Structures are given as structure tokens and as C-alpha cells.
């Protein structure tokens, strides 16, 4: 069954405990945490202290998406704060294999993220080593943007590689996911869908989770 990861970037930051509990009650599988540094992406969001604050209020794995330069420097702090999955952008990691090893050494599951224009080839030689590949379907930095349809072809490419090299791989999609775009991603082979606006702004969160899951 497709896993759903609501992004708390679209939550009410003044009530994060309630917002995380609301997502869990609505049937979410992961809580997606978008970390931005104002360098790799043109926005600043939250750090390890926010992960530490929400962690006691949910039993769901915290799926931490690092949109930051030099992620190696912060991986231990995010793990200590309670991250279960730590994903880094391939574009920020000149020594990607080393960074993945560091995530595992800290005891977390590892993910590698590709921007919409970054070719799947970039991760071909690490796909067997990671737990998750995250494909961006918007340019990272902000919630509420429109899905870039060209990215669907990349989902098929990753699914094809995964069948050969890593059948257990989580293939996660992030950006502009709603009921319609979710269906296209699932058909192409995605098995984890991140959604911010379409879940947190929905009138009925449980219904939104259900319709995105398909």
C-alpha cells in the first residue's frame, strides 16, 4: 500500500504538536519534515530543535528532508533529535557514498533526493545502498507549487533500476501532490507520497490522505 507523508511545512507552526497528532489520526504513515537553510534553497525553515520538539508527540517515523548545504555537519544532530529517515540532496553531496554511510552509522535510514532536472544516472551507483530515493516534482524551497509532469518519467526510471538493484527501495515523490498527480505517480511506481498543502489545507484530512493513497 502507498505510504503517505504529510509535510509539516504546510502546518500551523504555532501548534505543531496538534498538527502532528492530527496527521497521525488521519492515517499518515510518516511525518515529513522540510529543512531549508537559505543557501541551497531560497527559504529558511526548521532545524533539529523542531524535530526534537515534535518527536514525543507521534509514533510515526520522522522523514527528514535536508535541503541544506554541507549536510554531513548536521546529520548527527538530526538523528539525535529523533529522525528515522534522513534524506540528502545528491546536488549537495560531492561524496554521496560517504554521506549515506554516515547516515547509516548514526542509525537512521538513508534517502537521496534529486531535483527535477537532475538525471537519475547520478544515483545509479548508490541505489543499492539507500533505503529511499526521493524525486522532487517541484523546485525545492516552498510548499504550494505546481507539479512538474516531466518528472513522472524519472519515477519509471527509478522503479526500473530498483527492480534490478534494490526491490525494497522506497520511491518517494515530493511537490504538488494532490489526488490527480498522486495517481500518475503511483502508476509510474512511486510508493511514498509527500503532500503538504493538499493534506494540511484539506477540510477533512483523513479523506485527503485516503484519496492521495488511492
178: Cβ contacts below 8 Å, ≥ 6 apart: 147, 195, 198, 212
Question: Out of 25, 144, 153, 180, which residue is the one contacting ligand DX5 (CB under 6 A)?
Answer: 144
Helices (H), the chain: 16-25, 48-54, 75-81, 96-105, 152-165, 179-188, 197-200, 205-213
Closest by CA position to 150, among listed 186, 116, 179, 175: 116
* Footprint (CB under 5 A) of Zn ion, residues 143-162: none
34 binds ligand DX5 (CB under 6 A): yes
CA 195 – CA 175 distance, rounded (Å): 7
Contact flag: residue 45 with ligand DX5 (CB under 6 A): no
Q: Which is nearest to 112 in space by CA: 166, 164, 149?
A: 166
Binding status of residue 176 toward ligand DX5 by CB under 6 A: yes
Contacted by 182, from ligand DX5, Zn ion, none: CB < 5 to 8 Å by type: none
Nearer to Zn ion, 139 or 165 (CB): 139
The minimum distance between CB 62 and Zn ion, in angstroms, equals: 12
- Of 48, 82, 111, 175, the one binding ligand DX5 (CB under 6 A) is 175
202 in Cβ contact with 12 (< 8 Å): no
- Is 189 a known ligand-binding residue? no
Task: State which of residues 143, 152, 173, 188 lies at the interface with ligand DX5 (CB under 6 A).
Answer: 143
Which amino acids are annotated catalytic? Answer: 34, 174
Question: Which residues of the shown chain bind ligand DX5 in the complex (CB under 6 A)?
Answer: 7, 9-10, 32, 34, 65, 138, 140-141, 143-145, 174-177, 194-198
Amino acid at each position: 500500500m502507498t505510504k503517505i507523508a504529510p509535510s509539516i511545512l504546510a502546518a500551523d507552526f504555532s501548534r505543531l504538536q496538534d498538527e502532528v497528532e492530527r496527521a497521525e489520526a488521519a492515517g499518515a504513515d510518516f511525518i515529513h519534515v522540510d529543512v531549508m537553510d537559505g543557501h541551497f534553497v531560497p527559504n529558511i525553515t526548521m532545524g533539529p530543535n523542531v524535530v526534537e520538539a515534535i518527536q514525543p508527540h507521534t509514533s510515526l517515523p520522522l522523514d527528514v528532508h535536508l535541503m541544506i548545504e554541507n549536510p554531513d555537519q548536521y546529520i548527527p544532530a538530526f538523528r539525535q533529535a529523533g529522525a528515522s529517515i534522513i534524506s540528502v540532496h545528491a546536488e549537495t553531496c560531492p561524496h554521496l557514498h560517504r554521506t549515506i554511510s554516515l547516515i547509516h552509522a548514526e542509525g537512521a535510514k538513508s534517502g537521496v533526493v534529486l531535483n527535477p532536472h537532475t538525471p537519475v544516472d547520478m544515483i545509479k551507483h548508490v541505489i543499492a545502498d539507500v533505503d529511499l530515493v526521493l524525486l522532487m516534482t517541484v523546485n525545492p524551497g516552498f510548499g504550494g507549487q505546481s507539479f512538474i509532469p516531466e518528472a513522472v518519467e524519472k519515477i519509471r526510471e527509478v522503479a526500473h533500476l530498483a527492480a534490478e538493484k534494490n526491490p525494497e527501495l522506497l520511491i518517494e515523490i515530493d511537490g504538488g501532490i494532490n489526488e490527480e498527480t498522486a495517481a500518475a505517480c503511483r502508476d509510474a511506481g512511486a510508493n511514498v507520497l509527500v503532500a503538504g498543502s493538499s493534506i494540511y489545507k484539506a477540510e477533512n484530512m483523513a479523506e485527503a490522505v485516503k484519496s492521495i493513497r488511492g
